[in-house]
Amino acid sequence: MTPHGTATGLLSLVSFLAWATLAVQPVGALDDSILPTPERNSPTPAPSKVVESEVIFPSQSKHVHSSSIVELPDGSLLAAWFHGSGERKADDVCVMGARKSVDAKSWSEPFVLADTPGHPDCNPVLWIDQENQLWLFWSTILSNEWESSLVKYRISTDYLSPDGPPKWHWQDTVHIKPSNFQHEMLSEWRQLLGSVSFLPRAIRAELSVTTLPKLLWKSMGLIAVVLLLLLTPAGLHWWKEKKFLLSDWKRFAFRAAVCYSLMLLMGASGALGYFALQSNSKLNQRLGWLTAHKPIQLQTGEIVLPLYSDRFVASIMAITKDGGNEWETSQPIVGYGNIQPCLIERTNGQIVALMRENGARKRIRYSVSNDQGNNWSTVQETSLPNPGSKIHVAALCNGDWALAYNDLVDGRHTMSLAISRDEGETWQPPLLLDSGAIGEASFSYPCLLETLDGRLHLTYSRHWHHEGTLHKTIRHLTLGNPQFETPVSIAEGTRNVVR
């Protein structure tokens, strides 16, 4: 290589490193999904459709999170969330609730809905079935790890008291006993890892949703070692001959490609080996499932309860045909980090599960069932952004779908609402309902509810820093929907079914 070529090569290398560490911005994810990405409206702190904004209780320093809301037959509202000194790490965490009557100006004083002494109780889900029974699902954490969670539920028919908690007449545990679990988990993972598009998409995901300077900074030690090993032959040649050869550059490129490919292969093999070991244990198969979203009730009366596992980073359905006495499980939904499925039914009978993603793609995931929730299609991605946070989708009485989610990939500092008029095929530009500074505010874990008066209610966790103190509460928004005036059944089990 000539001195001019050497100088050009060094200049190119220095320029690349400077660009990579200082100038690279996140690139949009692959535009190859089924659901188009809606364009965002210009940011506004509160759109005109928000007719009421309030907090269910004053902000506090203790941890409050993961709310759920239902409309009761008398038109009043009941909300739930968990509250305590921490999350799963603190043993004083319990499920709290509050009421708001039709004419009330504010919510009632909070009261306890569920408390397992000495154990954290998290992720409450309120739901009313076709018989107007009120259900409360939640997860009790046995050993302060999500992998030790146990799903519980309570049922009440006496819940219209204006004050205090419902009177529960039944409580039980949802015992999960997956059938042929390890075989199905590994089969889905092999299919995923063996797909032609998986590795290229995984590589592109790292460059499309991660700020490269941040990635390089976190991996600086590993990068330094790898560069030292790869450049050693070229460095020795330069030390002796005071020049680089073209063969040195070729050798560097080849070794870099081999090294990166081996890292991906080792990562994929390690993941497969991990799931093979974990899924072989009956205890692991049956423990560690968590609640997140409301069930749906089918025409047959079957209740399909969506659950997820942090251990397997996958989802599953618990299905009961007899009102909760016995529970069966569906085929597991295995994909690229899909958890916290939210169920909604299409007019053709398909059940769609929209899911949070805990992978690098940073997109809402989805799967479809054609047999009432027992078997599920291969997990696909939408082009709707997701920063690793729960979403909520609800069917409105006019057939539209409403989606509450964090409309970004780099945090939870916005809360947005999007509408689909074609059962999720396309989405209108989202409304920005709440926003804050990155690192200073978090709005997450939304729950949507359409009430009989045609209004859409939204609750979500609202955490923000003010003067060095972290404040936490549950916020309640009421959005007017004057075009949705057709009355619907009070039973959410039927309301969530698009007809």
**CATH at 373:** 2.120.10.10
User: Which amino acid does the sequence have at 250?
Assistant: K
Q: 370-386 burial by CB neighbour count: b if 16+ within 10 A, else e?
A: eebbbebeebbbbbbbb
Give the domain extent around 8: 3-30+188-278
Whether residue 302 is predicted with pLDDT greater than 60 in this model: the reply is yes
Whether residue 486 is predicted with pLDDT greater than 60 in this model: the reply is no
Q: Are residues 316 and 261 in the same domain?
A: no
pLDDT tier for residue 34 given thresholds of 50, 70 and 90? very low
Residue with tokens 């916020």: 475
Q: Are residues 267 and 154 in the same domain?
A: no
Closest by CA position to 361, among listed 380, 334, 378, 342: 380
Average pLDDT, integer, range 255-275: 74
| pTM for this entry | 0.81
Query: Which of 278, 303, 332 lies at the terminal end of a domain, its last residue?
Result: 278
Q: Are residues 243 and 319 in the same domain?
A: no
Spell out the residues 6+ positions from residue 174 whose beta carbon is closer than 8 angstroms to its own. Answer: 137, 151, 152, 153, 289, 305, 307, 318, 324, 327
The average confidence (pLDDT) of the chain is 81
Q: Are residues 195 and 321 in the same domain?
A: no
Query: Which of 254, 278, 302 lies at the terminal end of a domain, its last residue?
Result: 278
Q: Are residues 313 and 437 in the same domain?
A: yes
Residue pLDDT, tens place only, 179-217: 999 999 988 888 777 665 655 665 555 555 555 556 556
Q: Are residues 97 and 200 in the same domain?
A: no
How many Cα atoms sit within 13 Å of 186 on the Cβ side?
A: 15
pLDDT tier for residue 246 given thresholds of 50, 70 and 90? low
Closest by CA position to 402, among listed 462, 342, 453, 350: 342
Residues 346, 498 contacting (CB under 8 angstroms): yes
Q: Are residues 148 and 77 in the same domain?
A: yes
Whether residue 28 is predicted with pLDDT greater than 60 in this model: the reply is no
Whether residue 490 is predicted with pLDDT greater than 50 in this model: the reply is no
Of 249 and 70, the one with more pLDDT: 70
Measure the CA–CA gap between 418 and 68, rounded to whole angstroms: 19
Q: Residue 45 falls within a domain, yes or no?
A: no
